[in-house]
Amino acid sequence: MRYTTVQNNQTIPVSQIPITSYDTFFELNAGFVKDSAHRHCVNYFGYPVDGNITLICCIADDQSHEIYISSCQVEPTDKLPSLVSEFFCFERFEREIHENFGIKFTGHPWLKPVRYSHDRKDPLQTMANYPFYSILSEELHEVGVGPIHAGIIEPGHFRFICNGEQILHLEIQLGYQHRGIESLLLHKNKLSERVQIAESIAGDNVVGHTIAFASVWESLCGYRTPRELDFSRTVALEIERIAVHTGDLSAACTDIAYQLGSAVFGRLRTPIINFFQEWCGNRLAKGLIRPGNNRFPFTPALAHQLLDAFDTFEPDFNEMHKELFKMPSALSRFERTGTLSYENALSIGSVGMIARTSGLNRDIRSSHPHSLYSELSHDPIIKHHGDVYSRVQIRKQEVPQSIQYLRELMTRVPDYDQDSEPLGSPKPDSFAVSLVEGWRGEICHCAITDAKGELRFYKVKDPSFHNWMALALAVRNNEISDFPICNKSFNLSYCGHDL
Amino acid sequence: MLGHIKILYHQGKQFIPDVTTAKVPGIFRGRPVLSQAKVDVSRLVDLCPLHAITADPVRLDLGKCSFCGECARQFPEKITFTSDYKIAANERESLIIKEGDNGPVKINPLKVRKEIHHLFQKSLKLREVSAGGDNSCEWELNAANNVQFDMGRFGIEFVASPRHADGIVITGPITENMAEPLQICYDAVPDPKIIVLVGTDAISGGIFADSPAIDRRFFKNYFIDLYIPGNPTHPLTFINGVLDLISARKS
């Protein structure tokens, strides 16, 4: 066997993952993803074992609903052929492995630092001496934007190479937000600390990341997640999707200077996040999700409140988007702006909502369902043009879809069982992987425990890790003045990428 | 056009008439009250994942608290969180709530710099710097500008350039990689200028306080004008905190 097969949220002994030679590992994983749009790399990372580095690659298969785990052992001084020569989606993963451990991948286009983590192999590489791509020409000029941007958003640096008003090339330098989350998850040994770190991975995607953390932890402990916990998590994830999508519609209106849309969608988000406050005391659902612990049971009274909130939300939401999408001045800014082709989306391994707007069906809710998604028989909404219009449309359509799922779920609120089994402690020498479809897309958490059952390694991948490249490609040949609307339509996470 | 008028009619008035007395819906974990009840203090201290609770006497530091509410769940007789969202202070010590305290968290007018009221009371332009913030406080600061909280009516506004600003608002624990941009931004703001810290991460580092990837040396050099706790900070907490600061000292 060259690899092992697991389901989403399954724990296996580390020894069950076959360790092969790098050549076999290379062939296997290149073969998995090449010419197979239904398979993609969900995580690829290295971790130190006795001075050597173990590489683990996780490939998700959307048709068989399985995840293929393979591994190999290499030395930090090794020079290995780059998987990028076979398929581009490994590009950022290899850069990360190079940055952390110094392994060289020959044939990789450019092994630049990904995030300047505090424990990087080469501390001489710093934010200040990032090697930007540049073109020598009298006709071109460069525009630098950031790290601090005009609005109230996170930091990141954008370097444009422009021909007049037209963008030829965009390079995105990230890492400003690096807080050392992955190493902190190992060093803080209380579960209550760890779960708060997971909540802080991306504060706009609290539910998604905390569910991934809780699922990994519960899986490692062999805990059978009770139905009411799965129910709460599914509900929370869909509410988060509705809230952020509505906010994003407001932001899209802001960026095309459509004041009414901006104001109305902006205020429509409030009753949705206020529902989180009614439920758990925090507008962004911090504190709601805990492994093996139902802190805020979802009651029938809450179900009534939620349905009432939707009853008043929906007419206003529908009225506003109907008006927005019939305005020629809005459509002319959305249509054919910032196009990400299907081929590009596929080659960079794009995931989630961004993949779905370019005609690529990637949705964990249907391909690797967790929580109660198998009961909802989720049918992903797919758009085909890959432009700003598609990305605004998909939000407009996913909001009513989520509301419909929630209305369905509200008819069967489970009873709260106070005598659920205790959580227990993680199994020793185990590996667990969890995939969650947050509003941005697929979140992947992987954990490995040592012989005592302590966390030995923890790896977090936010969907933005794949999708930042999508933004860089989509803005090519667009006017630089359209960059804000392109960026907003992607709405990627800086801290989720930088961790 | 008619469609727009219809929408305006259907939306009606959305703004909160008085942000100083508005009620927050549902359960809200605002200013905590610590009773004199006898409990297992060492277990209580140990319980807090952010080490915000200390013993003898029992104190809860809002600058470190993530408002997860676990202490109030396990020790309901000792700690309760009220829905009082006015928890901003201009002195770090005012954020530490002791057992028996039941007064509001207040701005000390004597510690407010003289020029603040004079220059900023009717117009305060702020530049926001996210230095490792997880985009939750940033979200809420954006919400403070929406049509409901409508902070702009008080002349408080976020601006695009530090050159246009009267001060900076910092969110996040200050990552090593953002330390320099933060300094550059601060230097670019013309004098006199204020510093406002928003959220637990900014005030104490929060859950990241002992992370090797953060660099909080910036705070050693400057006077902090306002601490606004929260995880994330509620828009009403922010607006009231800033309003109290700029109107605290009249002479």
Rounded to whole angstroms, the Cα distance separating A57 from A49 reads 16
Q: Which domain holds residue A66?
A: 1-114
Rounded to whole angstroms, the Cα distance separating B127 from B167 reads 6
User: b vs e for A137-149, b when ≥16 Cβ sit within 10 Å of the residue's Cβ?
Assistant: eeeeeeeebbbbb
In this prediction, residue B250 carries a pLDDT of 60
CA neighbours closer than 13 Å in the CB half-sphere of residue B96: 13
Q: What is the pLDDT of residues A292-318, one digit of tens each?
A: 888 899 999 999 999 999 999 999 999
Domain holding A346: CATH number?
1.10.645.10
**pLDDT band per the 50, 70, 90 thresholds, residue A420:** confident
Sign, CA dihedral A374-A437-A393-A323, equals: positive
Q: Does B49 touch chain A (CB under 8 A)?
A: yes
Residue A481 DSSP one-character state: G
Examine the fold and report which residue of A88, A114, A140 is the final residue of a domain before the chain moves on. A114
Q: How many domains does chain B have?
A: 2
The shortest C-alpha distance from A16 to chain B (Å) reads 33
Q: Which residue of B has its CA nearest to A287?
A: B68
Would you call B25 and A176 a contact, using CB atoms and an 8 Å cutoff? no
Which residue of B14, B136, B213 is in closest CB contact with A267? B14
Q: How is A417-454 classified by DSSP, letter by letter? A: -TTPPP---PPTTEEEEEEEE-SSSEEEEEEEE-TTS-
Is B71 part of any domain? yes
Rounded to whole angstroms, the Cα distance separating B74 from B122 reads 45
**Mean pLDDT, 10 residues at a time, chain B of 251 residues:** 89 90 89 90 92 90 92 92 92 90 87 86 93 92 93 93 94 94 94 93 93 92 93 94 85 50
**Both B228 and B135 in a single domain?**
yes
Q: Does B165 touch chain A (CB under 8 A)?
A: no
Q: How is B61-91 classified by DSSP, letter by letter? A: ETTT-----HHHHH-TTTEEE-S-----BSS
**Both A108 and A212 in a single domain?**
no
The interface predicted TM-score (ipTM) is 0.93
The shortest C-alpha distance from A27 to chain B (Å) reads 37
How close are the terminal C-alpha atoms of chain B, in Å?
50
In this prediction, residue A76 carries a pLDDT of 87
B133, with CB counted inside 10 A (0-12, 13-18, 19+), is: buried
**Both B46 and B86 in a single domain?**
yes
The shortest C-alpha distance from B106 to chain A (Å) reads 23
**Nearest by Cα to A172 from A114, A122, A117, A121:** A114
In this prediction, residue A361 carries a pLDDT of 93
Would you call B142 and A176 a contact, using CB atoms and an 8 Å cutoff? no
Would you call B148 and A270 a contact, using CB atoms and an 8 Å cutoff? yes
CA A204 to each of CA A403, B77, B247: distance values in angstroms, whole numbers, following the listed order:
19, 33, 33
A495 to chain B: which residues are within 8 Å by CB? 132-135
B232 to chain A: which residues are within 8 Å by CB? 203, 283-284, 286
Would you call B47 and A323 a contact, using CB atoms and an 8 Å cutoff? no
Domain holding B116: CATH number?
3.40.50.12280
Would you call B178 and A155 a contact, using CB atoms and an 8 Å cutoff? yes
Rounded to whole angstroms, the Cα distance separating A225 from B31 reads 34
In this prediction, residue A417 carries a pLDDT of 74
This prediction's pTM:
0.95
Which residue of A154, A201, A275 is in closest CB contact with B138? A154
Which residue of A153, A201, A326 is in closest CB contact with B138? A153
In this prediction, residue A256 carries a pLDDT of 93
* Position A27, amino acid: E
**Both B91 and B188 in a single domain?**
no
Rounded to whole angstroms, the Cα distance separating A292 from A424 reads 9
Identify each DSSP E strand in chain B by its residue range.
Answer: 32-34, 53-54, 59-61, 79-81, 96-98, 124-130, 156-158, 167-171, 194-198, 226-228
Please state, as a whole number, how many other Cβ atoms lie within 10 Å of the Cβ of residue B53.
24
A322 to chain B: which residues are within 8 Å by CB? 3
Would you call B133 and A495 a contact, using CB atoms and an 8 Å cutoff? yes
**Nearest by Cα to A231 from A441, A408, A420, A422:** A408
**Both B193 and B154 in a single domain?**
yes
Whether B195 and B120 have beta carbons less than 8 Å apart is answered as no
**Both B241 and B121 in a single domain?**
yes
DSSP-assigned beta bridge partners for residue B32: B81
Is A171 part of any domain? no
**What phi and psi values does residue A16 have, to the nearest 5 degrees?**
-80, -15
DSSP-assigned beta bridge partners for residue B228: B198
**Nearest by Cα to A18 from A73, A70, A75:** A70
Rounded to whole angstroms, the Cα distance separating B36 from B59 reads 11
Q: How many residues does chain B have?
A: 251
B70 to chain A: which residues are within 8 Å by CB? 192
Instruction: Compute the CA torsion angle B81, A231, A237, A458 (nearest 10 deg).
Output: 90
What's the rounded mean pLDDT across residues A171-196?
Answer: 93
A and B: number of Cβ contacts within 8 A: 191
Is A119 part of any domain? no
Q: Does B73 touch chain A (CB under 8 A)?
A: yes
B185 to chain A: which residues are within 8 Å by CB? 148
Rounded to whole angstroms, the Cα distance separating A174 from A115 reads 6
Is B16 part of any domain? no
Q: Give SS3 for A488.
A: helix
**Nearest by Cα to B112 from B227, B200, B24, B233:** B227
Is B10 part of any domain? no
Is B228 part of any domain? yes
**Both B47 and B119 in a single domain?**
no
Q: What is the pLDDT of residues A357-398, one digit of tens each?
A: 999 999 999 999 998 998 998 999 999 999 999 999 999 999
**Both A224 and A366 in a single domain?**
yes
A116 to chain B: which residues are within 8 Å by CB? 177
In this prediction, residue A293 carries a pLDDT of 87
Q: Does B8 touch chain A (CB under 8 A)?
A: yes
The shortest C-alpha distance from B151 to chain A (Å) reads 14
**Both B118 and B141 in a single domain?**
yes
Which residue of A128, A201, A277 is in closest CB contact with B25? A277
Is B9 part of any domain? no
Assigned token pair, A55: 């590489």
**Both B86 and B147 in a single domain?**
no
Q: What is the pLDDT of residues A445-461, one digit of tens each?
A: 999 999 998 999 999 99
The shortest C-alpha distance from A352 to chain B (Å) reads 20
Examine the fold and report which residue of A80, A95, A114 is the final residue of a domain before the chain moves on. A114
Residue A15 DSSP one-character state: G
How are beta strands A79-81 and A104-106 bridged, if at all? parallel
Is B215 part of any domain? yes
Rounded to whole angstroms, the Cα distance separating A415 from A233 reads 15
The shortest C-alpha distance from A207 to chain B (Å) reads 12
Q: How is A191-246 classified by DSSP, letter by letter? A: HHHHHHHHHTS-TTSHHHHHHHHHHHHHHHTT----HHHHHHHHHHHHHHHHHHHH
Give the list of residues 6+ apart from residue A461 with CB closer than 8 angstroms, or none: A42, A43, A443, A444, A445
Which residue of B26, B29, B211 is in closest CB contact with A179? B211
Would you call B49 and A495 a contact, using CB atoms and an 8 Å cutoff? no
**Both A230 and A110 in a single domain?**
no
Q: Does B176 touch chain A (CB under 8 A)?
A: yes
**Both A291 and A424 in a single domain?**
yes
Q: How many domains does chain A have?
A: 2
A240 to chain B: which residues are within 8 Å by CB? none
The shortest C-alpha distance from A462 to chain B (Å) reads 13
Examine the fold and report which residue of B46, B76, B98 is the final residue of a domain before the chain moves on. B98
**pLDDT band per the 50, 70, 90 thresholds, residue A97:** very high
Q: Does B238 touch chain A (CB under 8 A)?
A: no
Q: Does B28 touch chain A (CB under 8 A)?
A: yes
Whether B31 and B82 have beta carbons less than 8 Å apart is answered as yes
Would you call B207 and A279 a contact, using CB atoms and an 8 Å cutoff? no
Examine the fold and report which residue of B70, B98, B126 is the final residue of a domain before the chain moves on. B98
Residue B174 DSSP one-character state: -
CA B95 to each of CA A321, B60, B91, B92, B105: distance values in angstroms, whole numbers, following the listed order:
44, 8, 7, 6, 7
The three-point CA angle A259-A265-A269 to 5° equals: 140
Q: Which residue of B has its CA nearest to A260?
A: B4
**What phi and psi values does residue A449 have, to the nearest 5 degrees?**
-105, 160
Domain holding B46: CATH number?
3.30.70.3270
Domain holding A65: CATH number?
3.30.460.80
In this prediction, residue A205 carries a pLDDT of 93
Rounded to whole angstroms, the Cα distance separating A261 from B106 reads 38
Would you call A118 and B213 a contact, using CB atoms and an 8 Å cutoff? yes
B177 to chain A: which residues are within 8 Å by CB? 116, 127, 175-178, 498
pLDDT at A121 over 60: yes
Examine the fold and report which residue of B98, B131, B149 is the final residue of a domain before the chain moves on. B98
Is B11 part of any domain? no
Q: Which domain holds residue B147?
A: 109-248
The shortest C-alpha distance from A323 to chain B (Å) reads 7
Query: What is the enclosing helix (H) or strand (E) of A59?
Result: strand A52-61
**Both B118 and B226 in a single domain?**
yes
Q: How many residues does chain A have?
A: 499
Rounded to whole angstroms, the Cα distance separating B218 from B174 reads 9
Which residue of A116, A155, A326 is in closest CB contact with B181? A155
